[in-house]
Chains A and B, each alone.
Chain A
Amino acid sequence: MKPRVLLSYVIIILLVCMSVYPALWIVMSSFKVGNSLYSESLIPDALTLDHYKDLFTSKKHSYANWYGNTLFIATMSTIIGSFLTLLGSYAMARFRFYGRKQSLMVMLVLNMFPGFMAMIALFILLYQLDLLNNHWALILVYSSGAFVTNVFVAKGFYDTIPRSLDEAARIDGASHFTIFYRIILPLSTPMLTYISLVVFSGAWVDFIFARLILRSQDKITLAVGLYNMVNQRNSTEFTLFAAGAVLLSIPVFVLYFWLQKYLVEGLTAGASKG
């Protein structure tokens, strides 16, 4: 083997170790006996499933409850957010109407403000209106956020579907609703997959806004619960956190690996097609 190739292999293996190590470490910690951050070696002497059991049985954390809350919020946000994006981007891409240019400009400007400037304003509003600690507040914010951030990706996608397709259907007497439902929607699957994935995983792991809005232990989401676990008590429940983090990661991890192709396509579409 040439030295260059050998060196390449060495570097690659080193990089692989670096990228796998944190994941391996957290998984191993979740099976470790005891509750401390400290451990003698990467692979512990004794393995235990206690921490996973504790998550669901302990009185202190209602982990199952958090999981349910998160699932509800993420699913609803995905449905509403994708629906809004689909309608908005389709209209923007396919129709030429008065105010279109202005609307697109407004969307563009909205995207340039730091995301949670609006969130903070909403927080102040909800706080003054006494509407904090409500799941629907989160769902609405995630959905509208999804619409504003993804409308350009989706529009870029629709721009690539030949317009002759709709025109042919129009000539055959199809209404706009029929065209949308029978032609555009089936063709949108890759784009819809991308958007649902982004919205779902975004809502699944968001802790910034969730932490602002959700106040009581029975309402909080996984991300907030986990953040509190390591942040408040100075890592004394580290192994419990590890187990919780593993369970939080699994759905996103699986979705990302499974739908990787769509993700990369969507990301590049957002950048190169606007």
Chain B
Amino acid sequence: MELLNPLALLGNFLIIPGLTYGCQLALGALGVTLIYGILRFSNFAHGETMALGTMATLLVTLWLQSAGISLGPLPTALLALPVGIAICIFFTLATDRLVYRFYRRQKSTPVIFLIASLGVMFLYNGLIRFIVGPGDRIFTDGERFIFTAREFKEMTGLREGMAFKTTQGITIVVTIVIVALLFWFLTRTRTGKSMRAYSDNEDLALLSGISPDKVVMVAWILTAVLATIAGTLYGLDKSFKPFTYLQILLPIFAAAIVGGLGSPLGAIAGGFVIAFSEVALTFAYKRVLGYLLPEGQMPEGLVQLLSTDYKFAVSFAILVIVLLVRPTGIFRGQTI
């Protein structure tokens, strides 16, 4: 009992938000890592791809809501997600055809691709603001909570409450399903295996008759699927605001690099490492210690390592440390 109160406290403010944020980062980092593995460049347009897919989902959701269709306790956005994904796939494939294919034919260096992706980022950026504007939009509907902090207190009789939002639950469940499907696809199917082969050694893959165009196409489709789902989950959990998708790019890249670029498993691990370090290092442990330490020894200060202002600095710092100490990342990916 003595341990349950601080656990609930940590769960409410650290573990549940950390898990949710980790899932969102992991899905984003998976997309970055896939493109890096197959096309061999850092796709800076990934954040905006997420925003684009989310925007499409948002518009379909609004249409569904106005038509009176809903999923009951679940957000309507889940119903709109497949359409959003389809639209996002269309955009990524069109971009590849119009932009990246040209540079592939030219056999351009990765830096050229990277700069081109920066251009694509600005293009998407403008397109999204042109269509839905820069404002904040909330498109969550259905039940808000699986259980609220008050219900939790009544249920358990603890002094500390713990809230669990529906969107957090959905984020975690959807991430598990998507990651499982992705790994099944990469390890069990013919196309998935050919993608891994292409990623490991392009020349050998070409010699054994793997079509590069098909591999690239599948990579873009997977990226669009992952980006739209990650973006929509993030948008459902917080709110849809185009600017935040630009900001989330840094932690996503940090996650992909920390985990090891090109390694899907690394992307997931990296996502959680970044998410939990950001949350845990900026958390104030005053009341947790108050429960654990003997009576009357509650610390005067907040016991906070870093002010929350430095949240993004944490992902930067981890990124720098990993690049210095172990440039290949935790799971031995490629170096930049």
Say if A and B assemble together: no
